[in-house]
Amino acid sequence: NAGVMQNPRHLVRRRGQEARLRCSPMKGHSHVYWYRQLPEEGLKFMVYLQKENIIDESGMPKERFSAEFPKEGPSILRIQQVVRGDSAAYFCASSGARYNEQFFGPGTRLTVL
């Protein structure tokens, strides 16, 4: 039973480019969460999605960041016009229902040059 999958594992972008991070939840899970981890920091909640719906985006920066979880396919976290401060590890988690345990993926490490 495959766990949460994220790709790419490492992503390098130059300032001003777009970054697209993908997350495939565990089989049977329909709830997806994105967290960001800056160096030497804990994880910070960004957004919570269910299929085709954004439930809570209170942790998302107001500009340049967007997330989706389409009916088919993985969840996507998109960062437009990346800046050096976006360099971080981005983790996706999934759960089978609300208030259930969140299972984390291995993360995508984004480096902005």
Residue 86's SS3 state is: helix
Instruction: Quote the tokens at residue 44.
Output: 């910070």
Q: Does 98 bind another protein (CB under 8 A)?
A: yes
**What is the DSSP-derived secondary structure letter of residue 36?**
E
CA dist 103 and 52 (Å) reads 20
CB of 46 to another protein, least distance (A): 9
Q: Does 53 bind another protein (CB under 8 A)?
A: no
Nearer of residues 17 and 87 to another protein, judged by Cβ = 87
Q: Does 33 bind another protein (CB under 8 A)?
A: yes
Given a contact cutoff of 8 angstroms between Cβ atoms, the answer to whether 32 and 76 are in contact is no
Binding site for another protein (CB under 8 A): 4, 31, 33, 35, 40-45, 48, 55-56, 58-59, 91, 93, 98-99, 101-107
